[in-house]
Amino acid sequence: MNSIEFRRELHRHPELSFEEYRTQRYILDALRAEGIECREIATTGVLAKIEGDRDNLSRCVVLRADIDALPIEEQNDVEYRSENQGVMHACGHDMHAAVLFGVLQEFARNRDFEGTLFGIFQPGEELNPGGAIKVLEENPFEGYDVSAVIGEHTDSRLEVGEIGICPGRFMASNDELRYYVRGRGGHAARRNEIDDSVTAMAEMVMRTTAMNTPSCVLSIGRVIAEGATNVIPPIVSSEGTMRTFDSEERERIHTHLHSNARAIEEKYSVAVEVDINRGYPSVKNDMMLSYEAMIIAQDEGITVRDIARIPMAEDFGYYTERYPSLFYRLGVGYSGEEYEADKAGRLHTATLLPDTKAIGVGVVVMAMLAIEMDRK
C-alpha cells in the first residue's frame, strides 16, 4: 500500500474526535503489514516505533500526525469522497496521517540510522482538551532523550513544493469564554425594580473586545438574552474565545476579565460569573530547529516561506511545552498547469481538496528532518 491509497481510505471513512476506532484499526493493520511495531495510545490513537540498526537507541525523534475529522458534509465530487454522512476530513488530517505513514514505511525498509523513531497518529486535535495531552499523560517517551517532536499542517495558500516555517511563537493558545449576568428581571418600564442584565452584559462584552491587541484576540460570538421588547430577562449569557501567543499575557488577561466582572457587579448591582475553559497552549517552535529545518529543506530544493504567526490554536502546543519541537506548514495548493485559484479550497470547509502530490513532498521533508534532527 502506498501513502496515496492510505490517505484515500482514511478520507472515505472520517471519524470525529475521540471516535476514531475504525481509523485506529486501519492504521494498526497497515503498520503491522509493514512490519512496524505499534500499539494503541490515548484510547483511539496509535503509537509506532522503529529502532535503527545503529547504536544510541535511547535518543529519539517523534513524528506526529492528527487523525480526527470534522462535522462537515463533503461537497467534493471525487471517487474517494466521505462515505460518513456529515463527517469529513476538512482540515487535512488524512494528509498528515498519509505523510507520516509514508515516512514510517521508508524507515522500516531502511533501518540504517541511529536512534529510535516514534510516530504518533494522534486522536482528538479538534476537541478540547485535545489528544496531545492524553498522549503525554501516558508518558510514552520515558527513558528517552527526545531530540525533537516534528509535526505539520496542510496549507492551501502554499503551493506543492513549498513549506512555511515561523521560528519562535507560531500559533496562539485558545481559551473559551462564557459570561453569565444575573439580576432582577421584570418590566422594562420599571427601572427602579429591575437590574439591567442586558446593559451589564453589553458593557462586559465591550470591555472584553476593547482588550484586543496584535498579540491577543478576544471575540464574543454569541449573546443570549431571552427577554422581549418590554421585558428585561433575569439572566443573560455570552460565549467567545481568547487567543494569545504569550503565557504570561494569557494569565494577566484572565485576571483582568475577572476584575471587569467585579466592576460591573458594583456598577449595575448584578452578579457576573466568568467561566474560562482553558484550551491549548500556544505553539512555540524551537528557534534552532526552525533555522536548521529551513536549511535542510532548501538544500533539497524545497521552497521555504518565512510565514507570520497565526492566531489559531493547535494542541501540538502541549508537545512544544515539554520538548524541542517544530511545527510547519505543508503546501497543498495546485501549481503549474493545474494551477487554479482556490482549487484546493480552504480549511474547515466542505470543498477542501488538497493536491495529492503534496503527500510525496511531505514524506521527503519529514523524513529529512527526522534524520537530521536525530544527529543533533
Residue type, 226: E
Report pLDDT for 347: 92
- CA 14 to chain CA centroid, Å, is 17
Q: What secondary structure letter does DSSP report for 101?
A: H
Structural domains for the chain: 3-172+282-374 (3.40.630.10), 173-277 (3.30.70.360)
Phi, psi of 212 (to 5 degrees): -65, 135
For every residue of 287-309, DSSP letters joined together read: HHHHHHHHHHHHHTT-EEEEPPP
Report whether 86 contacts 72 (CB < 8 A). Answer: yes
pLDDT at site 373: 74
Rounded Cα–Cα distance for residues 194 and 262 (Å) = 19
3-state secondary structure of 239: strand
Q: Take residue 168 and report the three cell numbers written for it.
A: 519562535
The pLDDT assigned to 339 comes to 61
Would you state the pLDDT for residue 10?
Answer: 98
- Half-sphere exposure (CA, 13 Å, Cβ side) for 263? 10
pLDDT at position 39: 98
pLDDT for 116 = 97
CB 65 within 8 A of CB 316: no
Confidence at residue 374, expressed as pLDDT on a 0 to 100 scale:
63
**What is this structure's pTM?**
0.92
The amino acid present at 99, given as its one-letter code, is: V
pLDDT of residue 340: 65
Output the tens digit of pLDDT for each of the chain's 376 residues: 999 999 999 999 999 999 999 999 999 999 999 999 999 999 999 999 999 999 899 999 999 999 999 999 999 999 999 999 999 999 999 999 999 999 999 999 999 999 999 999 999 999 989 999 999 999 999 999 999 999 999 999 999 999 999 999 999 999 999 999 999 999 999 999 999 999 999 999 999 999 999 899 999 999 999 999 999 999 999 999 999 999 999 999 999 999 999 999 999 999 999 999 999 999 999 999 999 999 999 999 999 999 999 999 999 999 999 999 999 999 999 986 666 657 899 999 999 999 999 999 999 999 999 998 766 5
Q: What angle do CA 133, 322, 149 make, to 5 degrees?
A: 85
The model's pLDDT over 100-145, given as tens digits with 9 standing for 90+, comes to: 999 999 999 999 999 999 999 999 999 989 999 999 999 999 999 9
Number of Cβ atoms within 10 Å of the Cβ of 169: 17
Smallest CA-to-CA distance from 340 within 163, 81, 164, 159 is with: 159
